[in-house]
Amino acid sequence: MTEPESTDERLPAYVIEGARSSRSRCKSCRRSIDKGSLRIGFLIEGPFGTGYLWHHLRCAARRDFGRVEEAYRAEAWNAAKERPKDLPSLEELGRARDEALEKKMARRELPYVEVAPSGRSKCKQCGEIIEKDSLRVVLGRSVEFGRQVRTTPIHVHPRCVAPALAAEDSATETEGFVEALRANSDEPTGGFDGVIGEIGSIGL
């Protein structure tokens, strides 16, 4: 076997472009990709031929940032028939990926304690801001979706844990709370004692 003499016909591994029709479907979110919206194609060479699997550019960045990085390094927009407009920077896509990761982390086992990564979250119990870099406690709250009841994570101040646990829609057990908190959390700087002291009596 010899290598083909010309690589001209080889398709590039990645294409970034504005979708040329509305017929492609994003392999990440399964929704259709509107004409003109940014998509990235991953080349696949299978037994049934060669072609691209398309993703919304932002979906791909959330799912597989490494490949999007590679496509940016390869300047995959040069493989497009028409150079796409309004291409987000890799940094911007990276931030979207981080946010998605953060959401994923929120699906960890509850309850746990963590450092507030920003000053943007509000305590679900008292409504006040949870300061950046301070410790916040993540509890479960029951929320109805139609006929289903699901547990969704809420953030509260350590001092607000007791009233939050006493709330009717609390989905976190009071019994064994401190043990569960220790087991589910990374040990905060300065240990657990401070935050557990701040939580105080939770009405056992």
Longest dimension (CA), the chain: 78
Residue 62, exposed/middle/buried by CB under 10 A (0-12, 13-18, 19+)? Answer: buried
Give the start-end residues of each E strand in the chain.
14-18, 38-46, 49-56, 112-115, 135-145, 148-156
Q: Is 160 in the site for Zn ion (CB under 5 A)?
A: yes
Among 61, 157, 171, 195, binds Zn ion (CB under 5 A): 157
Q: What is the DSSP letter of 158?
A: G
Q: Is 24 in the site for Zn ion (CB under 5 A)?
A: no
**Is 59 or 79 the residue whose CB approaches Zn ion more closely?**
59
Q: Which two tokens stand for residue 134?
A: 């301070």
Q: Side chain identity at 58, as an amino acid letter?
A: R
Region 40-99 residues binding Zn ion, contact defined as CB under 5 A: 56, 59
CB of 63 to Zn ion, least distance (A): 9
As a whole number of angstroms, the distance between CA 172 and CA 93 comes to 35
**Is 98 or 128 the residue whose CB approaches Zn ion more closely?**
128
**Neighbour tally for 111: CB within 10 Å:** 25
Residues 6+ apart with CB under 8 A from 193: none
CB of 55 to Zn ion, least distance (A): 6
Q: Which region among 15-23, 94-102, 137-145, 150-158 touches Zn ion (by CB under 5 A)?
A: 150-158
As a whole number of angstroms, the distance between CA 139 and CA 90 comes to 34
**Is 119 or 183 the residue whose CB approaches Zn ion more closely?**
119
Q: Site for Zn ion (CB under 5 A): how many residues?
A: 10
**Is 26 or 135 the residue whose CB approaches Zn ion more closely?**
26
**Is 56 or 141 the residue whose CB approaches Zn ion more closely?**
56
Q: Is 26 in the site for Zn ion (CB under 5 A)?
A: yes
Q: Which two tokens stand for residue 10?
A: 């080889």
Selection from 177, 183, 175 nearest residue 158 by Cα: 177
Among 25, 28, 169, 198, binds Zn ion (CB under 5 A): 28
**Is 28 or 152 the residue whose CB approaches Zn ion more closely?**
28
Q: Is 123 in the site for Zn ion (CB under 5 A)?
A: yes
Q: Which region among 17-25, 83-91, 155-163, 196-204 touches Zn ion (by CB under 5 A)?
A: 155-163
Contact 152, 141 (CB under 8 A): yes
Positions that interact with Zn ion (CB under 5 A): 26, 28-29, 56, 59, 123, 125-126, 157, 160
